[in-house]
């Protein structure tokens, strides 16, 4: 019994001595993702469907197969796309606005907040609403712009990644400014 007590005592001493040392752990500073955002330079883009806007250099406008005026606008290395639908109005404005709002409402289950910004540019006859859907939603931005009588443009943004709001927030903030710039510079 005495021998086993001595062995246990020696074993504990070895463990205690091996855990000690003069090195104090140093906490690591917080780190952040380094994002290389594209340059924010604008040029006038004029579409064959009779509208124009100031386009950021990283926006790449592509025609949608099977549609004359709908466009997919790629965000390049930000890995997202704006799907722009151009609709000639043939019924009341309320029907189109309600449809756009219903599409935003489909994301209420996942959204932690839905913020809206109204765009009213009477001099250019441009009216619309920009919706920012916060949280892990499939589409973080949706909007519509209209002249209220003939044209209704609906936009939906998707990023080609699994929705993780915290991870893509810097990209969202960057793109949001350019989407609002689009809405504030569109002309018929």
pLDDT band at 29 (very low <50, low <70, confident <90, very high): confident
pLDDT digits (tens, 9 = 90+) for 76-98: 988 899 999 999 999 999 999 99
Phi-psi bin for 153: left (phi > 0), alpha (psi -120 to 50), beta? beta
Of the ranges 24-28, 40-44, 105-109, the best mean pLDDT one: 40-44
pLDDT digits (tens, 9 = 90+) for 39-62: 889 999 999 999 999 999 999 999
Count of other CB atoms within 10 angstroms of residue 49: 13
Residue 33 in this model has a pLDDT that exceeds 90: no
Domains of the chain listed by start with CATH number: 42-185 (3.40.1000)
What's the per-residue H, E or C state across 106-117? Answer: CCCCCEEEEEEE
In the chain, how many H helices and how many E strands? 3, 9
Residue 175 in this model has a pLDDT that exceeds 70: yes
Percentage of the chain with pLDDT > 70?
Answer: 93
Q: Could you give the 3-state DSSP secondary structure of residue 168?
A: helix
Cβ proximity of 127 and 145 under 8 Å: yes
pLDDT band at 32 (very low <50, low <70, confident <90, very high): low
Comparing C-alpha atoms, which of 136, 146, 140, 129 is closest to residue 180? Answer: 129
Count of other CB atoms within 10 angstroms of residue 79: 13
pTM of the model: 0.80
């Amino acid at each position: 019994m005495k021998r086993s007590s001595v062995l246990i005592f020696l074993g504990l001493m070895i463990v205690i001595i091996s855990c000690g040392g003069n090195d104090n752990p140093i906490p690591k500073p917080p780190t952040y993702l380094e994002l290389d955002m594209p340059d924010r330079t604008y040029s006038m883009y004029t579409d064959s469907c009779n509208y124009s806007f100031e386009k950021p250099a990283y926006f790449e406008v592509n025609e949608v197969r099977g549609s004359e005026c709908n466009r997919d606008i790629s965000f390049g290395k930000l890995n997202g796309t704006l799907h722009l639908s151009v609709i000639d109005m043939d019924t009341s404005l309320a029907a189109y606005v309600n449809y756009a709002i219903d599409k935003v409402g489909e994301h209420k289950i996942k959204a932690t907040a839905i913020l809206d910004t109204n765009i009213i540019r009477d001099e250019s006859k441009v009216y619309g609403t920009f919706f920012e859907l916060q949280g892990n939603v499939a589409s973080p931005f949706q909007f519509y712009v209209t002249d209220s009588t003939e044209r209704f443009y609906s936009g939906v943004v998707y990023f080609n990644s699994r929705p993780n709001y915290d991870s893509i927030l810097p990209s969202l903030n960057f793109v949001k400014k350019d989407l609002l710039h689009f809405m504030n510079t569109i002309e018929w």
